[in-house]
Amino acid sequence: MSLYFEHFAPAIIAAIAISALCSLLSVIVIAKRLAFIGQGVSHAALGGVGVAAIVGLAPQQHFLVVAPFCILTAIAIAWLSDRERFSADAVIGAALVGTMALGALLISIAARHGARRVPGWEELMFGSVLSVGPAEATLSWIVFVAILGALIVVRRPLLFWTFDEQGAEAFGSPTTGMRMITLIMLGLAIVIAMRLVGVVLATGLLVLPGAAALKLTTRLGASIVLSLVLGQLGLALGLWASFSLDLPPGACIALALLALFALSPFGARLTGAA
């Protein structure tokens, strides 16, 4: 049993940090309707993986390329969607298609030229948390602590922008800065979440805990705490199902979070929040 735990301990430790990180941001993502941007940025990570593969980086080093690639994509989406000539949906769709196509081409070229290890499509799309090592677990916690610190520092203007953007602008709050900071944190969270559930399901971690929490309460502090609790509960249920039934952990975690989201209206009726 001790050997079993020792083997999977880094994966579990990393998963706890990733779930907490995404749950913290989830309330903001839902309140600001950033789910579709999250979808675009998560798929943009595939382009970053392609760039990392073509320059010959090992999978453990992909973060060095994928993180800035996702952050720049998020900033580009925000900048272009602010222009009158482009709608946000069109920009996000173009970014999603373009970066995925670029990633597919670069990964194919890298594999053809004998790259050291090109991630498989199943691993990219649905994650491989059980192969996470101590270094990646440490990185997950470093990113979590960094984003938690940033949220604490900018909490007042960030929450003002999140729940009353027009009021924040009227009072001279740095709304553009808050938007950029949010998108940078979103990009980092997606890069880390990719390892847990892959490109396809990463957005679920950033959407479902906050959506369920906001269904259960309208109080800001309570919704953030509930989002954290639901994120960890979904993680625990998903990993339990994965270990018990020998199923892919990423899909199990995503479905567990989806089940909690589906049950949230019933919980809201029981607590009188509906």
The pTM for the full model equals 0.82
Task: Give the number of C-alpha atoms closer than 13 A to the C-alpha of residue 227, restricted to the C-beta side.
Answer: 30
pLDDT reading at 136 higher than 50: yes
**What would the two tokens of residue 127 be?**
């994650």
Distance CA 237, CA 1 (A): 20
How does DSSP classify residue 57? Answer: -
Distance CA 81, CA 86 (A): 6
Tracing tokens 């998560």 back to the chain, one arrives at 42
Which of 109 and 195 is assigned the larger pLDDT? 109
Q: Are 238 and 256 in contact (CB under 8 A)?
A: yes
pLDDT tens by residue, 259-268: 999 999 888 7
Tracing tokens 């890298």 back to the chain, one arrives at 110
Of 165, 174, 50, whose CA–CA distance to 119 is shortest? 50
pLDDT reading at 240 higher than 50: yes
pLDDT tens by residue, 165-196: 788 888 888 887 888 888 888 888 888 887 76
Looking at the chain, the whole-number percentage of residues with pLDDT higher than 90 is 18
Q: Are 73 and 128 in contact (CB under 8 A)?
A: no
- Name the phi and psi angles at 272, rounded to 5: 80, 15
The H-or-E segment that residue 72 falls in is helix 63-81
Domain-wise residue ranges, the chain:
2-267
Query: Out of 1.10.3470.10, 1.20.120.160, 3.40.50.2300, 3.30.365.10, which CATH number does the structure's domain 2-267 have?
Result: 1.10.3470.10
